Amino acid sequence: MRSSAGSADSPVPATAPSFPPLRVDGRLGRLRHRLAEEDVDAAVISQPANVRWLTGFTGSNGTVVVLGSGETLLVTDSRYAEQAPAQLAEAGCLDEVEVVVARRAAHTAAERLGAVTRLGLEDSVAWAEQIRWSEAVDASTVPLTEAVEGLRAVKDPAELTRMQAAARIADGALAAAEPMLRPGVTEAEIQQTLDDAIRASGASGPAYETIVASGPNSALPHARPTDRKLQAGDLVVVDVGAEVDGYRSDMTRSFVLGDPDEQAAAVLEVVGRSQSAGVEAVRPGVEASEIDGACRSVIDEAGMGEAFVHGSGHGVGLDIHELPRVVSGSTAVLEPGNVLTVEPGVYFPGVGGARVEDLLVVTDHGCRQLTLYPKAPVVPLAR
C-alpha cells in the first residue's frame, strides 16, 4: 500500500453522511424557457434520470408532461400514490406539479394537451411510445434533443456534495483492494473486493460494472473481469466508481506488477502525461474539444495515436455518461458546475493497455479534482 494518498488511505465511514436536500426549484421554469426557444408547446419527459432531476421522483414509472401554460403533470401508477407526492414535496415542487395516478400517461394527458400543436418527445422514446402519443394528441411530435440533459450538465452544490462523497468512497475502495494486485489473484476477486468495499462504505453500490483488466485484457477499454490470474509484469487497469443517493463517480488507475518492461513503461508515462495535459486544460470558457485535443496531442507526439481509440472524457451525474462530451469536434463550452472525466488511454491488442481517469468539477477559475487516489503505477513485488 502506498501512503501518498492522504485522503484515499483514511478510513471511510460505514454510514452515509448527512447531505443537503436535493431541491428542484426553478428547473421546470428553465425547461419551459428552453422549449419556448425551440417553439415547442409541451414536452413529455420519461427518462428516469430526467424525471428525477425535474421533480425529485425516483419511482420506476413516471412521466412528466410539461405544458407551456405553466401546468405540469407527473403521471405514475398506484404503487407510487403516496411516494410521489411525498418526494415532490421534499424536492420543493409539489405546488407546481400535479400528481396523476393512472396506467397510461398518453391517454391521461391527452385532454390537457388539446391546444398543443408541437409536442416534444425525448430522443430516446421508443417508436411504439411515439405512436401512442401521436394517436392520443392532435399535434405533431418533434424530438427534444437533450433538452433536459443540457440543463443537468451544471450541478448545484447539493449534487456536488453527493458526487464528492461517491468519489471519496471509490478512493477508499481502491485503497482496500490495491494490496490484492499480486500474481495469482484473479480479476474477479479484485472486482468483488472493490464492490464489497463500496457498499460497506455507505454507497448504494458501484456506479457501473467495475473493470479489472490485466495483461492482454487491459487492451480492452471496457473489459469485464474474468478468472484470469494476474502475473508479474502485467499491466492492470482498474476502473471503479460509486453511487451515492443516485449520483455517481468515475475513476481509473493503471498499474504494472513489478518492474515494467520498456513498452509498459512507455505506455504508462505517455498516458500519465496525456491525462495531466487534459486536466490542465479544464477551465470555464474552454470548448470540450480542446481538452480532447490536449490529451490527444501528447499521445500523437509519442507515436501512439492509433492506439487511443475513444474520446477523452464525458460528463457524469445521475447517469455515468452525461453531457458534456469530451471528444474532438465537440462545441460544448465548459462552465462552472460541469462535472466531467478526463480519461485518455492507449491499447495494444494482445499485449495490454493503460488508462488514467479523474473526475473533475469546473470552478470559476479552473477545476477541482473529486477523485484523489494517487497515480503511482508500479506495484513492487517481493523478491
Per-residue pLDDT, 10: 35
Q: Is residue 132 very low, low, confident or very high in pLDDT (cuts 50, 70, 90)? A: confident
pLDDT band at 113 (very low <50, low <70, confident <90, very high): confident
Alpha-helical runs (H) found in the chain: 6-9, 27-37, 48-55, 83-91, 105-109, 127-136, 147-152, 157-177, 187-200, 262-281, 288-301
Which pLDDT belongs to residue 18? 82
Q: Is the pLDDT of residue 283 over 90?
A: yes
Strand partners, 141: 119
Which phi and psi (to 5°) does residue 7 adopt? -75, -30
Burial of 356 per CB tally in 10 Å (0-12, 13-18, 19+): buried
Contact 211, 225 (CB under 8 A): yes
Q: Is 201 helix (H, G, I), strand (E, B) or coil?
A: coil
pLDDT score of 17: 62
- Is this structure's pTM higher than 0.85? yes
Joined grid coordinates for residue 204? 448504494
pLDDT at site 123: 87
Q: Is the pLDDT of residue 229 over 80?
A: yes
Asked if residue 344 has pLDDT above 70, the reply is yes
Tens of pLDDT, residue by residue over 284-318, are: 999 999 999 999 999 999 999 999 999 999 999 99
In the predicted model, is pLDDT for residue 270 greater than 90? Answer: yes
**Count of beta carbons in the 10 Å neighbourhood of residue 29:** 11
pLDDT score, position 13: 42
- Beta strand pairing status for 118-122 and 140-144? parallel
pLDDT tens-place string over residues 29-58: 999 999 999 999 999 999 999 999 999 999
| Residue 6 in this model has a pLDDT that exceeds 60 | no
Model pLDDT, residue 240: 98
42 grid coordinates: 409541451
Measured CA angle at 140 (ends 118, 138), to 5 deg: 95
Q: How far is residue 367's CA from residue 122's CA, in Å, rounded to a whole number?
A: 31
- Res. 115 pLDDT band, cuts 50 70 90: confident
Q: In this predicted model, what pLDDT tens digit does every residue of 55-90 receive, in sequence order?
A: 999 999 999 999 877 899 999 999 999 999 999 999
230 and 186 in contact (C-beta within 8 Å)? yes
For residues 298 and 233, what is the distance between their CA atoms, to the nearest angstrom?
25
> Average of pLDDT values for 96-112?
87
| CA pair distance 255, 355, nearest whole angstrom | 9
Confidence band, pLDDT 50/70/90 cuts, at residue 136:
confident
Distance (Å, whole) CA 155 – CA 338: 6
Q: At what angle do helices 288-301 and 262-281 cross, to 10 degrees?
A: 160
Residue count (the chain): 383
Average pLDDT over residues 334-338: 98
Interhelix angle 27-37/48-55, nearest 10 degrees? 120
**Mean pLDDT value of segment 11-19:** 54
**pLDDT value of position 320:** 98
pLDDT over 90 percentage in the chain: 83
pLDDT of residue 9: 38
pLDDT value, residue 3: 31
Q: What are phi and psi of 110, to 5 degrees?
A: -55, -40
Per-residue model confidence (pLDDT) at position 135:
84
Mean pLDDT, rounded, for 158-185 = 98
The average confidence (pLDDT) of the chain is 93
| Residue carrying C-alpha cell 453511487 | 243
